[in-house]
Amino acid sequence: MTTPAEIADALRATSFLEDFTDAHLWKLSRLVTPLTLVPDDTVFSEGEARQRFAILISGAVAIEKSSDGRTTRLVTLGAGEAVGEGLLLDDSAHGTTARVIMPGIAMVLARAQLDDITRESPQLYAALVARAARAISARLRRADATLVGRGRTLGFGGHRTRQEHDLLGERDVPYEALYGVQTLRALENFPITGIPLREFPVLIESLAAVKEAAAQTNFELGLLEQGHADVIIRAAREIRAGRHHEHFLVDMIQGGAGTSTNMNANEVIANRALELSNQHRGAYDVISPNDHVNLSQSTNDVYPTAVRIALHKSLSGFRIELARLADAFGAKGVEFAPLIKMGRTQMQDAVPMTLGQEFMAFSHTLQEDVDRLGEAQSLIREINLGATAIGTGINAPPGYAELACKHLAVIAEVPVVTAFDLVEATSDTGAFVQLSGVMKRTATKLSKICNDLRLLSSGPRAGFGEINLPAMQPGSSIMPGKVNPVIPEVVNQVCFEVIGGDVTVTMAAEAGQLQLNAFEPVIAYRLLRGIDMLRNACIVLNERCVTGITANADRMRYFVEHSIGIVTALVPVLGYEIATDIAKTALASGRGVFDLVLERKLLTREQLDEMLNPAAMTVPRDTQEFSPVTIPSA
């Protein structure tokens, strides 16, 4: 695609330039420059001056908005659409970033060429501005279709609808919507959490992976003709790349064991496949959500399989961040290794240790759970795809389960395996309970660590004050100068949520009856939400707390030198009873252990210097070298 004629033909086929005159296309083809779209490259970035706009010939681009280091995907644009057309309308900086999500080709018009058009071809410029306005209007209509439900009716789209029917009758569906009548009913039936499926992209992409694997398998087994299989696979791949997620609107908690989620996926893929076939949305006599997209499948094998893939992928990300947090504590353990402090048990002075030992223990206990989560992750890989309704494989051809699993492992990049007993696998939720238990274990440990960080940093003058947490924000609307440990506090609350979610998962798993558990939606919601929250909590705790912790060495040493806890080191030589009497006297009189032992002539100064050296008390040592003590007679 290098000659003006080839470029003009490519531009003519785009929806953005629909009905453009040949004269305008001919001029434009000599001004635009082809751009190869590489996934994760940016066409423009938020905050940059507007310098170009692009018309997508192939591939796809996501429009993203960043806030506080987090990126939100607003919309995705595909072949035929324009990106950055705001250049035609004003000179303000880009308010979003355009990131490539599918490889392809775009035709780019730079500001310099646009300036030339404005001066030399005002009619062409006016035509481009009109197309930009039309594109913005179309996006408003599409956005409108994705906001329908929960009591809201059509607004921007002018009440344009298409009619669809199901078992219960006919309904009007927003014309621009890729979802269909069953999704519309689910929006009306389940206004529960206000958290739609689109808030969990990993689950949407996992559903699309299952549908792609099923279509490929059905084609190879002779059940689906190539034309249908090709467009279904293309639609599923677009969804896996991040497109069309705004049309996945059903609430995460729903009745029906996930049927609404499965049908939402079936309808979006069917309608997108129809578009790719140059058919109208809703033309289900051509490509059907049930007969083609859901061929050889049931919600009862699709939904749990997709949930397991989503959990597996989510766990991989969580384990990475948990390991990084453990490493951050470990780095502090090394940094604080020389610093002596008083260890405590049951909130009372115990024996000396180093602050490095304390932080290294935090590191090791979290690293253990990176491994435990890996073990739970391995159980999640067993799937029941091919089981269909209850595990008997009704309506699926021989060999379907094995072949679908093989394709799914490649597509999803997860080493899934087909369960040995599909009837058992369809009704059993044991792997979810296991995972939830490990997540509760991790949350419990993480919360305990945050409790310790808050306690060790308490003060600054009337508390422990042994460490300092980074100051993140003012702590009080009435008390000047107060700074609170807000990062450990928010992580505590995440952990409370996950621990409570374990009860939900347990009850939902127990409530399953006979050949199916109808409550997997709430299990999926709690697990996926809990993993996301724990992952985010690890990032926040690491980046906004742990790496900035500092120690108050003098204060910690003061506590050691004035604690009666060091008397424990004398027990092997003096005996428990004498050591207890020394501790009691020291506590009552306010005098030091060292002075009382010398006064009673129980040990020499040299022996005491060695035995009560705080650094020496932080590691095992041999006390047999000290002379036995003869207790003086009264």
Show the domains of the chain with their CATH numbers: 4-145 (2.60.120.10), 161-295 (1.10.275.10), 301-393+408-552 (1.20.200.10), 563-618 (1.10.40.30)
Percent of all residues in the chain with a pLDDT value above 90, rounded to a whole number: 60
Band of pLDDT at residue 592, cut at 50, 70 and 90: confident
Lowest mean pLDDT among 134-138, 161-165, 174-178, 591-595: 134-138
Lowest mean pLDDT among 64-78, 193-207, 270-284: 64-78
Band of pLDDT at residue 295, cut at 50, 70 and 90: very high
Task: State the average pLDDT for the chain.
Answer: 90
What is the model's pLDDT at position 156?
44
Band of pLDDT at residue 67, cut at 50, 70 and 90: confident
Lowest mean pLDDT among 473-482, 525-534, 607-616: 607-616
What's the rounded Cα separation, in Å, for the pair 446 and 440?
10
What is the model's pLDDT at position 619?
76
What is the model's pLDDT at position 361?
97
What is the model's pLDDT at position 631?
47
Model pTM?
Answer: 0.84
For 223-237, how does the pLDDT look when each residue is reduced to its tens digit (9 = 90+)?
999 999 999 999 999
User: Quick check: 402 pLDDT over 70?
Assistant: yes
User: Quick check: 294 pLDDT over 90?
Assistant: yes
- Mean pLDDT in residue range 472-483: 80
What is the model's pLDDT at position 149?
55
- Mean pLDDT in residue range 266-287: 96
Measured between its terminal Cα atoms, the distance across the chain in Å is: 107
What's the rounded Cα separation, in Å, for the pair 276 and 145?
20
DSSP letters of 9-56? HHHHTSSTTTT--HHHHHHHHTT-EEEEE-TT-EEE-TTSPP-EEEEE
Band of pLDDT at residue 470, cut at 50, 70 and 90: very high
* Count, residues in the chain: 634
Tokens of 461: 């003058």
What's the rounded Cα separation, in Å, for the pair 189 and 166?
15
What is the model's pLDDT at position 451?
97
The catalytic residue among 92, 137, 476, 589 is 476
**Catalytic residue check, 476:** yes
